[in-house]
C-alpha cells in the first residue's frame, strides 16, 4: 500500500502542472491565437492592399462593408485577440495567479508610461496617437496599447525564462526579465518606424520630433526598455518564484508564434515602405535568439537525467 502511494506521488511529480480541466485553456489559447493571426493578415491586407487600391473592392457588394469594418476595428482587433490568447495560454502554462499578476502589472504600468509620454514627451519622445487604434483613455492613449504591451511582453518574458535555461548563471529570473525586455524593444525596432512612416496611408501615431533612427528619436527605445523591464521585474517580485522552467514551460511554441507573428507583421509594413535595416535587426536580434526555445535541451548537466518539454509539478500559479 505504501509502495503504491509512493509510486502515485512520484508519478504526480513528473506530470504537467496543469490539470485536465486547465488543459482546456491550451485549446482556447490556440483558437484565439488563430484569430490573432487571421486579424494580423486582415490588417496587412487592409493597409497594403485595400486602402492603397480601392479600385479592387469599391464595386464589390462586400468590399465597402469589409473596408468600413477594418477602418473602425482593424487596428485594435489583432491586439484584443493577442491579449486574450496569451492570457488563456498563461492560465494553462503557469496558472491563473501568475498570469493575472503579470496582466495587473503590465497594463497599468504601460498605460501610465504612455500617458506620461503623450502628455510630456518623456520617456519616449514627443508623439501622439491617431484614432485608428480604438477608444482613447483620457483622450491620449488607445485602450489597445496597454493590451499590446501585455501580450507581446508576456510572450517575450516567457521566452526569456525558457532561454534562461541555456544560461549557466543564476538567478535565472534576472536574465529572463532582461531578455524579455530586450526582445520587446527589438519588436519596436521594426514596428515603430513603419507604423508612423510618412509613406503609410494610415498612420497609427505621429512624432512631433525627428531623430537618428529612421526619423525617430532614439530615446523612444530607452523608454520601451525601461517600461518593459519595470513591469516584468515587479511581476516577478510579486510572483516570488519562477515559472516551471527546470523541465521547460509547456507549450512554449505559442509565445514564440505570437512574437514571430508580430515581428512578421511589422516586417511586412517595413518592407512596404523600404525599411530593410529594421527587418534585419528584428531577425538577427529577435527571431533567431527566440527560435532557440524550440530547440530541445537533451541532457540535464546537474543530474544527468534527460530533460523533457514537460514541467515538473510545481506551484499552481
Instruction: Give yes or no for a contact between 48 and 268, defined as CB atoms under 8 angstroms apart.
Output: yes
222-244 confidence digits (pLDDT tens): 999 999 999 999 999 999 999 88
pLDDT the model gives residue 54 = 82
Selection from 75, 80, 279, 70 nearest residue 191 by Cα: 279
Tell me how far CA of residue 107 lies from CA of 37, 143, 149, in angstroms: 22, 10, 7
d(CA 95, CA 155): 15
What is the value of pTM for the model shown? 0.86
Three-class secondary structure of residue 13 per DSSP: helix
pLDDT the model gives residue 298 = 66
pLDDT the model gives residue 73 = 81
Residues with pLDDT less than 70, the chain? 1-21, 298-317
pLDDT the model gives residue 269 = 92
Amino acid at each position: 500500500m505504501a509502495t503504491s502511494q509512493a509510486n502515485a506521488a512520484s508519478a504526480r511529480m513528473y506530470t504537467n502542472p496543469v490539470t485536465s480541466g486547465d488543459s482546456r485553456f491550451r485549446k482556447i489559447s490556440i483558437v484565439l491565437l488563430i484569430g490573432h493571426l487571421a486579424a494580423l493578415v486582415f490588417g496587412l491586407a487592409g493597409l497594403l492592399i485595400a486602402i492603397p487600391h480601392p479600385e479592387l473592392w469599391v464595386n464589390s457588394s462586400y468590399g465597402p462593408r469589409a473596408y468600413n469594418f477594418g477602418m473602425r476595428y482593424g487596428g485594435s482587433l489583432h491586439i484584443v485577440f493577442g491579449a486574450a490568447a496569451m492570457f488563456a495560454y498563461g492560465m494553462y502554462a503557469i496558472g491563473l495567479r501568475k498570469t493575472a499578476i503579470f496582466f495587473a502589472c503590465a497594463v497599468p504600468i504601460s498605460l501610465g508610461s504612455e500617458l506620461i509620454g503623450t502628455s510630456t514627451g518623456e520617456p519616449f519622445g514627443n508623439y501622439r496617437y491617431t484614432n485608428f487604434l480604438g477608444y482613447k483613455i483620457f483622450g491620449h492613449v488607445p485602450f489597445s496599447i496597454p493590451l499590446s504591451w501585455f501580450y507581446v511582453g508576456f510572450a517575450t518574458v516567457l521566452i526569456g525564462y525558457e532561454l534562461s535555461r541555456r544560461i549557466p548563471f543564476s538567478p535565472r529570473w534576472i536574465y529572463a526579465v532582461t531578455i524579455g525586455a530586450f526582445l520587446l524593444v527589438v519588436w519596436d525596432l521594426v514596428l515603430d518606424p513603419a507604423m508612423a512612416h510618412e509613406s503609410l496611408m494610415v498612420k497609427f501615431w505621429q512624432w512631433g520630433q525627428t531623430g537618428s533612427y529612421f526619423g525617430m528619436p532614439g530615446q523612444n527605445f530607452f523608454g520601451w526598455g525601461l517600461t518593459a523591464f519595470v513591469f516584468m521585474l515587479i511581476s516577478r517580485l510579486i510572483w516570488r518564484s519562477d515559472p516551471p522552467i527546470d523541465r521547460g514551460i509547456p507549450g512554449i511554441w505559442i509565445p514564440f508564434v505570437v512574437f514571430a507573428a508580430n515581428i512578421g507583421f511589422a516586417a511586412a509594413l517595413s518592407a512596404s515602405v523600404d525599411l530593410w535595416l529594421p527587418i534585419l535587426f528584428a531577425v538577427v536580434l529577435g527571431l533567431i535568439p527566440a527560435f532557440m526555445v524550440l530547440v530541445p535541451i537533451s541532457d540535464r548537466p546537474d543530474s544527468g537525467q534527460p530533460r523533457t518539454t514537460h514541467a515538473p509539478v510545481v506551484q499552481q500559479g
